[in-house]
């Protein structure tokens, strides 16, 4: 039994990680300020974990959170491009300040064996090259992307300055249970599914040829655990986590029609400002370093998501 701190453990991805760790019988502590996370996400196992309500932008909270924890899974953030554009100072605090506090607290605690942190495919920005490879020059185009990239740079800096082992996972488009479809920042999979389950027509921004690499949250959970336990390469690695395949928004609607056995036509509206056209991960580095393999098919994850609704 090892001890794990999950930051942002009441959020969509964090709570899925906490659930897996509890099932596996580990000692789990969650720190979350409940800004975007929700206690309902962890209610089912709240008695099996230690919960700290607090903000990592406060160093005292960070110190308390990391105390005696061996592994740290850092998911806390305000994970939204539009929010970061409206409020770059708050976004920076929630990602950069919080992360530096967490890393510094981990150095001081002396107990931390390794940290894995969530970063984003947003780092690739509008670079049109496909698939996205980790060694491409980053092109952050939003404060959110800049902050997530800064987290990667701090990971490298803390390894070279203090020998703190930190792996950064660049998530592509994550979907799954506990992603709130009502949130204005929710992903397209949740938005489309919740509408189509009610028999409503989903709205596609653009002509539907826009494509994304949709990755199931179970795969994200697996990748995080692999990153904590894999052999240390001697570098603070940045690793893409996606399926390594993409589908268009038109195909996504067709897939839901097929699974739900309905025939709903999407509505079309003009493209969203700032959207990139295509995104697909090269996951060969994840395979090589983590032994990562995505779940059998996109349909597998979509079916599990439908069961959750
Ligand atoms: C996603 C992430 C973001 C990350 C980025 C990295 C989510 C919610 N956001 O953004 O954190 O920085 O990848 O590349 O996972 N769309 C519709 N109709 C809708 C909603 C969305 O057509 O009702 C379209 C969008 O215009 C976009 C595509 O679906 O073209 C995907 O949108 P979204 O799920 O919001 O994710 P990204 O913008 O790719």
Burial 2-38 (b: 16+ CB within 10 A, else e): ebbbbbbbbbbbbbbbbbbbbeeebbbbbbbbeebbe
Q: What is the ipTM of this complex?
A: 0.96
CB 249 within 8 A of CB 182: no
Does the CB atom of residue 284 touch ligand 1 within 6 A?
A: no
- In tens, the pLDDT along 193-222 reads 999 999 999 999 999 999 999 999 999 999
* Mutational test site, ligand 1, from 175, 272, 280, max ligand atoms within 8 Å of CB: 272
Q: What's the confidence (pLDDT) of residue 185?
A: 75
HSE-up of residue 68 (Cα within 13 Å, Cβ side): 4
pLDDT surpassing 80 at residue 274: no
Residues of the chain above pLDDT 90, percent: 94
Query: What pLDDT digit, counting tens, does each position of 33-72 carry?
Result: 999 999 999 999 999 999 999 999 999 999 999 999 999 9
- The answer, yes or no, to whether residue 184 has pLDDT greater than 80, is no
Cα 49 to Cα 133: distance, rounded to the nearest angstrom: 37
Instruction: Determine the Cα–Cα distance for residues 73 and 64; give it in Å rounded to an integer.
Output: 15
Query: 249: Cβ below 6 Å to ligand 1?
Result: yes
What are the strands of the beta sheet with 71-74, ordered from one edge?
A: 50-53, 27-32, 3-7, 71-74, 114-120, 166-171, 238-241
What superfamily in CATH does domain 176-212+245-280+296-308 come from? Answer: UDP-galactose 4-epimerase, domain 1 (3.90.25.10)
The reported pLDDT for the residue numbered 272 is 85
Alpha-helical regions (H) of 230-283: 249-260
**pLDDT tens digit sequence for 105-163:** 999 999 999 999 999 999 999 889 999 999 999 999 999 999 999 999 999 999 999 99
According to the CATH classification, is domain 3-174+215-243+282-290 in 3.40.50.10490? no
Spell 109-125 as b/e; 16+ CB within 10 A means b.
Answer: beebbbbbbbbbbbbbb
The pLDDT score that the predictor gives to residue 209 is 97
Selected catalytic residue, list 71, 144, 154, 159? 144
**Domain range annotation of the chain:** 3-174+215-243+282-290, 176-212+245-280+296-308
Q: Ligand 1, atom 18: nearest CA belongs to which residue?
A: 204
| 266 contacts 201 by C-beta, under 8 angstroms | yes
| Known active-site residue 300 | no
Model confidence at 82, pLDDT cuts 50, 70, 90, reads: confident
pLDDT score of 60: 98
Determine if ligand 1 sits within 6 Å of the CB of residue 191: yes
Mean pLDDT of all residues in 278-307: 97
Token pair recorded at residue 215: 């990755």
């Amino acid at each position: 039994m090892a001890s794990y701190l999950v930051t942002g453990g009441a959020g969509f991805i964090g709570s899925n990680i906490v659930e897996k760790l509890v099932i596996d019988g580990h000692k789990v502590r969650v720190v979350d300020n409940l800004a975007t996370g929700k206690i309902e996400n962890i209610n089912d196992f709240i008695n099996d974990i230690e919960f700290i309500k607090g903000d990592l932008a406060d160093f005292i909270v960070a110190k308390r959170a990391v105390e005696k924890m061996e592994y740290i899974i850092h998911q806390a953030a305000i994970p939204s491009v539009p929010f970061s554009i409206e409020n770059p100072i708050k976004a920076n605090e929630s990602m950069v300040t919080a992360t530096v506090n967490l890393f510094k607290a981990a150095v001081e605690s002396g107990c931390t064996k390794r940290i894995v942190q969530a970063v984003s495919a947003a780092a690739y920005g509008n670079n049109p090259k496909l698939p996205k490879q980790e060694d491409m020059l980053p092109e952050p185009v939003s404060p959110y992307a800049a902050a997530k990239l800064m987290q990667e740079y701090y990971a490298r800096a803390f390894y070279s300055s203090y020998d703190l082992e930190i792996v950064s996972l660049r998530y592509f488009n994550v979907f799954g249970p506990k992603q709130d479809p009502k949130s204005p920042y929710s992903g397209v999979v949740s938005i489309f599914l919740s509408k189509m389950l009610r028999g409503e027509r989903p709205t596609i921004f653009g002509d539907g040829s826009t494509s994304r690499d949709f990755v199931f949250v179970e795969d994200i959970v697996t990748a995080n655990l692999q990153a904590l336990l894999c052999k240390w390469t001697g570098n603070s690695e940045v690793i893409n986590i996606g399926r390594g395949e993409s589908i268009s928004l038109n195909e996504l609607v067709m897939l839901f029609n097929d699974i739900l056995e309905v025939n709903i036509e999407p509505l079309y509206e003009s493209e969203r400002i700032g959207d990139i056209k295509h995104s697909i991960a090269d996951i060969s580095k994840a395979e090589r370093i983590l032994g990562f393999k995505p779940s059998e098919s996109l349909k597998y994850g979509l079916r599990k998501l439908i069961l959750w609704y």
